Amino acid sequence: MDVDAYSARNRGAWTRLDTLSRQRKLTGAETDELVSLYRRTSQQLARLQTHSPEPELVAGLSAVLARARGRIVGSAPNTWTEIGRFFTHTFPAAVYRVFGWWLGVAVAFLGVAAVFATWIAVDPFARETLGLQEDTSALTAPGGAFETYYTEHSNDAFAALVWTNNAWVAALALFMGVLILPVLYLLFMNALNIGVTAGLMAEAGRLDSFFGFLLPHGMLELTAIFIAGGAGLKLGWTLVDPGPMSRGEAVAHQGRATAAIALGLVPTLLVAGLLEGFVTPSVLPTPARIACGLLVETVFLTYIVTAGRRAVHGKGVSTSGSPAVYAPDNR
C-alpha cells in the first residue's frame, strides 16, 4: 500500500469526520453523514492497521474514531484513557523516532564539555584564554559556591526553581529548533558551562565532588535536554528537507510530535527537579545518591526504548484517544 497516496486521497473525509464529531449541533443530514463517515473510516483504519508501518497515522485515526463513536453513542472518550495512551504510546513513540537526533546531541554535548574540562585542567593558559579569574577557590573549595548552590534554598523551593528553569531551557531547545542556530548556541553554552566547572573542580582536585553533586539529578536532567535539543533540531531540519510531503505538512506533522515531546518532558523534568532538590543535597553517601539517579535514568531509558519501539512498530495499537495525525512521515 502507498500510504502517502492513500492518506492524501482520504484526508478530506477524515478531516470532515473530525469536524462533525466536534461540532456542537448536527442536522439530520449531518448526523447521517457522521455515521456514514464513521463506518467508512473504521474500515480504512482496519486496513491501515494491517498494512501501514505508520503508528502515528493509525493512532490519529483511532482518536478521530473515538470522538466520533462518543458522539454517535452519546458519550465522550475517557480522559484518563487518553492520558494513559499518551504516556504509553504517543510520547515514547515521538521520542523514539528522533532517537538518532538526540543521541547525536548527547555525544556532541558531552564531547564539548569533556574538551573544555580537559583543557582547563591541563593547560595553565586556558583560564586567561577563556577570561576566567585566576582565583576560583570560592567556587571549588569545600563548602564553596558549587556545593552550597544545592543547599542554599529549602528542598521544595529549590526543586520548584530547578523544574521551572529546566522546563524553560527544554522549551527553548524544542521550539527554537526551527531556526537551528539558536538551539546549537544554547546547547553549546550549556556544554561550555558544565565543561568549565568540571575543569575547575578537576584542577582543584575535587572532581569526585563535582560528579557526586551532578550525577544524582544530572543524568535524567541532561537526557531531557538532549531529547529537547534533538527534537528541536529535527523540527528545524524538516523545514529544510520536508521529504515527500509539502513543507507546510511536514513541519505541521513534526510540530505535533515536538509538542508531544514537550508535554511529556514536563513530568520528566519534574522528577529531575525532585532529585536535585531532595536527593542531591541529602546526607546520603555519594554512592547511594548516584545510585538513585542511575536507577531513575535506567527506568526512563528502558521505558522510552521499550514503549517507543512497541508503538513505532505498531504493536498494541488500540483505538483510544491520541492526537490526530493524518499525514505519515516516511523519512
Mean local confidence (pLDDT), 28-55: 82
Contact 96, 231 (CB under 8 A): no
Checking if the pLDDT of 92 tops 60, the result is: yes
Name the band, by pLDDT with cuts 50, 70 and 90, for residue 298. Answer: very high
Same domain, yes or no: 74 and 131: no
* Whether residue 320 has pLDDT greater than 50: no
Confidence grade of residue 76 (pLDDT, cut at 50, 70, 90): low
Q: Is residue 324 part of a domain?
A: no
Q: Are 169 and 261 part of one and the same domain?
A: yes
Residue 167 lies in a domain: yes
Task: Specify the pLDDT at position 176.
Answer: 86
Percent of the chain with pLDDT over 70: 91
Q: CA-based diameter of the chain, in Å?
A: 82
- Which band of pLDDT confidence, cut at 50, 70 and 90, is reported for residue 319? very low
Give a yes or no: residue 325 inside a domain.
Answer: no
Spatial distance between the Cα atoms of 199 and 182, rounded to a whole number of angstroms: 25
Domain membership flag for residue 328? no
Nearest to 144 by CA among 199, 218, 204, 196: 204
pLDDT tens figures, 206-246: 999 999 999 999 999 999 999 999 999 999 999 999 887 78
Q: Across the chain, what does the average pLDDT equal? A: 86
**Does 130 fall in a domain?**
yes
Average pLDDT over residues 248-268: 90
What integer pLDDT is reported at residue 79 of this predicted model?
A: 74
The answer on 291 and 168 residing in a single domain is yes
From 60, 90, 120, the end of a domain falls on 90
Q: What is the pLDDT of residue 50?
A: 72
Q: Is residue 323 part of a domain?
A: no
- Whether 204 and 219 map to the same domain: the answer is yes
Torsion from C-alpha of 250, 251, 257, 262, nearest 10 degrees: 170
Q: How many domains does the chain have?
A: 2
Same structural domain for residues 78 and 154? Answer: no
Give the pLDDT band (50/70/90) at residue 77. low
Percent of the residues in the chain that have a pLDDT greater than 90, as a whole number: 50
State the Cα–Cα distance between residues 110 and 289, nearest whole angstrom: 21
Asked if residue 116 and residue 13 are part of one domain, the reply reads no
pLDDT tens profile 151-182 = 877 888 878 888 888 888 898 888 888 889 99
Q: Is residue 330 part of a domain?
A: no
Q: What domain range is 69 assigned to?
A: 3-90
